[in-house]
Amino acid sequence: MVDIEIEIDGSVVHGHSGESIISIADREGIDIPRFCYHKKLSVAANCRMCLVDVEGNPKPQPACSTPASAGMRVHTNNEKAKASQKAVMEFLLINHPLDCPICDQGGECELQDVAMEYGSDVSKFNEGKRIVADKGIGALIQTDMTRCIHCTRCVRFGAEVAGIVEMGATGRGEELKIEPFLSEGIQSELSGNMIDVCPVGALTSKPFRYEVRSWQMNSVESVARHDLVGSNIFTQTHKGKVKRVVARDNESVNETWISDRDRFSYEGLTNENRALTPKIKVKGEWQEVSWEAALEAATSGIKKNSAEAFGALASKNATLEELYLLQKLTRGLGSENLDTRLDVANPSSTSALETTISLAELEAIDHALIVNSYLRLEQPMINHRIRKATLNGAKVSTVNSLTFDFNYRVANSVLSAPQNTLATLSGVLKALLEANSLALPDYLKDTKVDQAQIDIASTLSAAENAVVVLGEQVNSNPCADQVAKLVTQIAKASNSKTLNASATGNTLAAEKVSFKPNGGLNAAQMFTANLNTFVLLDVYPTYDCVDSTAAIEDLSRDDAFVVAINSFEDESVLGFADVILPLASFYETSGTHINIENVAQSYGASVKAAGDSKPGWKVLKVLADLLELPGFDYTDSPQVADDALSLSPNVATSEVDIIAMEVPNIATVWQYTPYASDVLTRHAQSLQQTQIGQISEAVVSAATAKILELSQGDCYKGVPVNINETVAEGCVFVHTNQARQR
Amino acid sequence: MNEVCFKNIDKENPSSLATYEATGGYSVWRKILHGELSPEAILGELKTSGLRGRGGAGFPTGLKWSFMPRNQDGQKYVVCNSDEGEPGTCKDRDILRFNPHSVIEGMAIAGYVMGATVGYNYIRGEFMEPYYRFEEALKEAYDAGLLGCDIGDSEVNFDLHTHLGAGAYICGEETALLESLEGKKGQPRFKPPFPANVGLYGMPTTINNTESFASVPDILARGGQWFADLGVPNSGGCKLFSVTGHVTKPANFEIPMGTPFSELLEMAGGLREGRTLKAVIPGGSSTPVLPAEDAMKMTMDYDSIEQVGSMLGAGSVIVMDDTTCMVAALTRLAHFYYDESCGQCTPCREGTGWMYRVLKRIMDGQGKMQDLDLLTSVQDKIMGNTICALGDAAAMPVESFIRHFRDEFEYYIKHGKSMVTKVNSDG
């Protein structure tokens, strides 16, 4: 890239040779009107709004597609440029309905804004306007295609970013329509970004439809905490309610996109199942009481029992502050029984894998080995970065128990049930070591290597910037620690980086404050140790616990006193809890999220907590005070965050041995759809209505189904059985939005 | 007359390889295969010949070929644009029917000069007979060992494929043609980058009109100077003109550039009895219309036609006599562009429909006087603001029809009917 000087509107500006005029102008703060141009999408040059006068050219040139060259003299607002821009504006408006008063885009519409400067007061168009019939495209995006100006941003977003060719321009001339090719709607975990890129009211947010005018809302900077990225967002609020969530640019985190989960989960905040008032259970009956009474009941219940019989369980999505205070409270009481890993088959064997790659670096990889993950749905923004790399030629290999619909081509795909995953990865590792003539550790001596494993190994060897990703499904594997060790060894042998996506949400905050037992009981052990006191922080055992039935039975024991600091109430919580302290949910509390790059992002509350609920850090601080524990003299949450962030977690480096596993012949992999991954999303109605939200199937091969005596349409652990051959032999892959059953 | 592309038209079986070879066909190609002709020499002759692109834009062919990064690694392509869709033109159809081998040889030579080993001939969807004739000729050429890989141990490679379009006018625009050839929707690409750098499948590509390719073998066989001398300065050689409309013998005529229009009109049998010349569109429907007195002043070459206010275009001469209602004629033309706009970019998508609707309203007797200024203003706003030339093509007739025949439009608006009372028996 050569630095060049060009002149725009008389001032000398700098750019790179070949850079578009509009990109230089944008950097220099020179305003050029545009509709089809979007910095993250390919150039289309079809709206013609950015026509500018380039000296030496008889015709005006589009600033978006004209590369700058040294000495070029550009006029963005002389008579010639203005005439062209006004001409295009006039054409865009003739068939636009101008129904701004009833259009949700009103007030934030690019067409409206640009028309203010370039449009005319009176239209010369006296013919009938074009009307376009809408095809519904699902529960999230509202279409009003009569308003469409055919800029194709949504089409390009779909094809280039989301990797789905579902929106297209059909017909020609005036009959050109932007519509889905199929009438099944847009099935993408990133579809909501189409709303953001649409410059007009053709694509708007369906849940937000007719809620409130855009200018009546406050935009509050916040951070989404559903996944490992912590996408930057604006929560847009009106009268104390979150009305909409939109993306906030942060190039190093989420660029300019957010996932649908981050965008639409806010709907759950107003769900009828929210816990809104403090409650205590008196003789089996719930009584709504004051905060003082509820806290008093909680305190005296906790004080009754010994510290050894106290256990704390927290959600992975809790804030850093909440996790810090709850662990401090637990440890202050003298207990080491605390955990967030409720969904892990064997919490004493967690996947200790360090993440050694940044989000930006993911775009530069040339190979990704994805182990035990449907990354596309689990971590949409991480998957998006990998997809970008594949567009530049990166190859992807997978070791999974089900064939997933990735939005890029998978070069090597190995199906492997959990009980065979160690053998598969051992084969890959052995092939790698042998190819590089490295010494084999003992545990690989008897390992057999097949061609598929050699293929993965040779792709890894050939790559210069590879990454090995370990995903959530490893949690269904009782030997997750061994899988993680093999992944580490594979990365070491192939000089690859690693990315641990096995636990989501704010897991790294839990790591930071050591929210796991150091000598005490882990999540699974707590339910078999006859503990007398439990404090739950936004935990819902029906969904969150691997063996939900056992967990609920244990929590329901007569001698178990359960304090649920929860944002939602469900039947099981109401069944086993003794005190419910209503918790402020996402966006209702200040907090801190630590993302995959170990970046701590703090945010304030966007709205006041619903009902009588209170931010978790306040509840825990007061509870600790009432328990007369020292060190809780906090007056605001940043003080808590400061203390939490100053901790250096004790990294337990226990040696993991690769040993023969004790696993069932037929394993179950339990994977939630992205819209059942946490309590807020589970209560967001629109997300539940999407095709992704409604996935619920137990996929099993014909041979395995025969052993289990299952047939198509039966239920396996409450989930409908789907027999096909996309799944590894010897396992049932449950992909569902339903609560866990035995 | 009929010296180059049509030289075999009166012979028996004009499209056959035997006929083509009997008049010196493939002699240049064989010279190349024997290593007796360098790309530089060919480019030199082409530049001397003054051959300009016969598809309408009139860009010098030799210069266009020299833009190709000949020595760049990777695949390069030559593409022949036989998507002849301009209303009024039918010359390429007859080249494909009667002299297909000249196109094959011209493309092969182009491939050799530009280092392109693969060529595509994109033929208009409606051209079934020309398509089969061309395919037949292609088979003959392959059977005779004139095409393929390492042709006659010469280490020269050239493969040629035929592609039949699906009937969209816009695919005659060279970059829309490339999109269509790639299997995508036929929509023009913005330029730069130009096809010579980023063309078919992203590789360097040169696209020429059928007639341009067909002229190349004879130019090289007989010399660039010979060709140039056939015509006039700045308009070398001879050219095919398709004369249609109100003439008694509409046909294609290959005549030297610079021939007076009056002579061409005579060749086409002149006007019918009792009719007088009213207007002429000299280069296809996209070029401005000329009133009779201007048309009679012109000679058929680039400069002369430009001087009288129009363009030579593809040489498609549409003759209109005094029975023509200019309002109806323009409305028909406007409908064509409205129908054929690809819809990709704003001015053309919205503007062509607007112009057609206003004209339709005038035809329906609902016109207003200010509509004429409106039409002029709309065409002016399309002009120069679009991705491809279709916008300009739609705009130019509107401007010229209203400028030259404003009284007729005003009469129609005032009276709700045409000024022309003489009834054309053609309807």
Which residues are A312's β-sheet partners? A338, A535
The distance from CA A586 to its chain's CA centroid, rounded to whole angstroms, is 14
Tell me the one-letter amino acid at A703: A
Q: With 60 as the cut, is the pLDDT of residue A346 above it?
A: yes
Comparing alpha-carbon positions, the chain B residue that sits nearest to A152 is B344
List pLDDT tens digits, range B8-36.
999 999 999 999 999 999 999 999 999 99
Res A434 pLDDT > 90: yes
Alpha-carbon distance values, B386 to A47, A49, B188, B379 (Å): 9, 11, 10, 12
Parallel, antiparallel, or unpaired for β A51-54 and A73-75? antiparallel
Residue type at B303?
Answer: D
Model confidence at A659: pLDDT above 90: no
**B340 touching A, CB under 8 A?**
yes
Give the DSSP H or E segment for B277: strand B277-281
Q: Using the beta-carbon criterion (under 8 Å), do A176 and B357 form an inter-chain contact?
A: no
Chain A interface includes B190 (CB < 8 A):
yes
Between chains, do B349 and A175 touch, taking CB under 8 Å as contact?
no
Over chain A, what is the mean pLDDT?
94
Q: Yes or no: say if A676 and A734 are a contact pair by the CB < 8 Å rule.
A: no
* Residue whose token pair is 């304030």: A604
Distance from CA of B399 to the nearest CA of A (A): 16
Task: Determine whether the interchain pair A46/B351 forms a contact, defined as Cβ–Cβ distance below 8 Å.
Answer: no
Do the Cβ atoms of A92 and B352 come within 8 Å? no
Quick one: pLDDT at residue A661?
60
Cα of first residue to Cα of last residue in chain A, in angstroms, is: 61
pLDDT at A444: 92
Cβ within 8 Å, pair B346-A169: no
Per-residue pLDDT for B423 more than 80? no
pLDDT above 80 for A262: yes
| A351-355, A566-570, B71-75: range with lowest mean pLDDT | A351-355
Percent of chain A with pLDDT over 90: 90
pLDDT at B71 over 90: no
Q: Looking at CA atoms only, how far is residue B207 from chain A in angstroms? A: 22
Which residues from chain B sit within 8 angstroms of residue A67, using beta carbons?
Answer: 192
Option in A44, A91, A169 nearest B351 (CB): A91
Distance between CA atoms of A244 and A515, rounded to whole angstroms?
Answer: 32
Across the range A23-37, mean pLDDT stands at 96
Contact B356, B338 (CB under 8 A): yes
**Which of A62, A65, A171 lies closest to B343 in CB terms?**
A171
Q: What is the DSSP string of A370-396?
A: EES--HHHHSHHHHHHHHHHHHTT-EE
Q: Does B344 touch chain A (CB under 8 A)?
A: yes
Cα three-residue angle A429-A434-A435, rounded to 5 degrees: 100
Residue B334 sits at the vertex; the CA angle it makes with A51 and B340, to the nearest 5 degrees, is 70
pLDDT at B43 over 50: yes
C-alpha span between A582 and A280 (Å, rounded): 11
Chain A residues within 8 angstroms (CB to CB) of chain B = 43-49, 51, 58-60, 62, 65-67, 84, 87-88, 90-92, 94-95, 124-125, 127, 149-150, 169, 171-176
Token digits for B425? 């028996």
pLDDT score at A656: 74
Which residues of B are less than 8 Å from A58 in CB distance?
A: 384
Cα–Cα distance measured from residue A446 to residue A469, given in angstroms and rounded to the nearest whole number: 26
Name which of A20, A48, A177 to mutate to probe chain B: the one with the most chain B Cβ atoms within 10 A of its Cβ.
Answer: A48
Chain B residues close to A59, C-beta within 8 Å: 384-385
Q: Check A173 against B185: CB less than 8 A apart.
A: no
B354 touches chain A (CB under 8 A): yes
Q: Do B361 and A127 touch (CB under 8 A)?
A: yes
Amino acid in the structure at residue A174: E
Q: What residue type is assigned to position B302 of the chain?
A: Y
CB of B338 less than 8 A from some CB of A = yes
Taking an 8 Å cut-off on Cβ atoms, the answer to whether B344 and A58 are in contact is no
Quote the Cα angle for B333-B336-B338, to 5°: 110
Predicted pLDDT at B2:
84
What distances in angstroms separate CA B144 from CA B12, B37, B108, B141, B152, one per listed residue?
20, 21, 14, 5, 10
State the SS3 of A271-303.
CCCECCCCEEEECCEEEECCHHHHHHHHHHHHH
User: How far does the CA of residue A581 sit from the closest CA of chain B (Å)?
Assistant: 58
Contact A60 B354 (CB under 8 A): no
pLDDT of residue B263: 97
B185, B192, B346 ranked by CB distance to A91: nearest: B346
Say which DSSP state A568 is in. Answer: B
Q: Rounded CA gap, A119 and A92, in Å?
A: 10
CA dihedral A279, A282, A287, A289 (to 10 degrees): -60
Q: Which chain B residues touch A62 with a CB distance below 8 Å?
A: 190
* CA–CA separation, A452 and A95 (whole Å): 57
Separation between Cα atoms, residue B123 and residue B172, nearest integer Å: 9
Structure tokens at A539: 């935990």
State how far the Cα of A533 lies from the Cα of B407, in Å rounded to an integer.
Answer: 98
Distance CA B419, CA B326 (A): 9
Nearest to A60 among B190, B353, B384 (CB): B384
Is B347 in contact with A45 (Cβ distance < 8 A)?
no
What's the CA gap between A704 and A401, in Å, rounded? 13
> How is the beta sheet containing A3-8 ordered, strand by strand?
A11-16, A3-8, A73-75, A51-54, A61-62
For A106-160, the pLDDT digits (tens) are 999 999 999 999 999 889 999 999 999 998 899 999 999 999 999 999 999 999 9
Q: What is the pLDDT of residue A1?
A: 55
Read off the tokens for A158. Answer: 């779909």
Of A45, A59, A67, the CB nearest to B384: A59
The one-letter code for the residue type at A115 is A
In order, the DSSP letters of B57-70 are T--BHHHHHHTS-T
User: CA separation (Å) from A391 to A364, A413, A462, A479, B59?
Assistant: 11, 19, 18, 34, 37
* Chain B residues 364-393 with CB within 8 Å of chain A: 374, 377, 380-382, 384-387
pLDDT digits (tens, 9 = 90+) for B241-287: 999 999 999 999 999 999 999 999 999 999 999 999 999 999 999 99
Look at residue A210 and give its three-state secondary structure: coil
For residue A741, the model assigns a pLDDT of 86
> Any idea what the Cα angle at residue B58 is, between residues B53 and B61, rounded to 5°?
40
Stated as kind and residue range, the H or E segment containing A143 is strand A141-143
| Residue type, position B204, single letter | P
> Residue B198 — pLDDT band, cuts 50, 70, 90?
very high
What value of ipTM does the predicted structure carry?
Answer: 0.94
What pLDDT, on the 0 to 100 scale, is given for residue B427? 43
CA distance B41 to B35: 12
Q: Which of A507, A514, A497 lies closest to A472 in space, CA to CA? A: A507
Q: Which of B190, B352, B358 sits opposite A65 (nearest CB)?
A: B190
Mean pLDDT across B191-219? 96
B358 touches chain A (CB under 8 A): yes
pLDDT digits (tens, 9 = 90+) for A519-554: 999 999 999 999 999 999 999 999 999 999 999 999
Percent of chain B clearing pLDDT 70 (strictly above): 99
Q: Which of A67, A92, A172 sits opposite B192 (nearest CB)?
A: A67
Segment A375-386 shows an average pLDDT of: 97
Single out the residue of B394, B414, B420 nearest to residue B327, CA to CA: B420
Look at B346 and A62 and tell me if their CB atoms are within 8 Å.
no
Is the CB of residue B347 less than 8 Å away from at least one CB of chain A? yes
CB A624 within 8 A of CB A563: no
The average pLDDT across A262-272 equals: 97
Q: Hey, what are B163's tokens?
A: 């592609």
Nearest CB neighbour to B346, from listed A47, A58, A127: A47
In B, minimum Cα distance to A20 occurs at B192
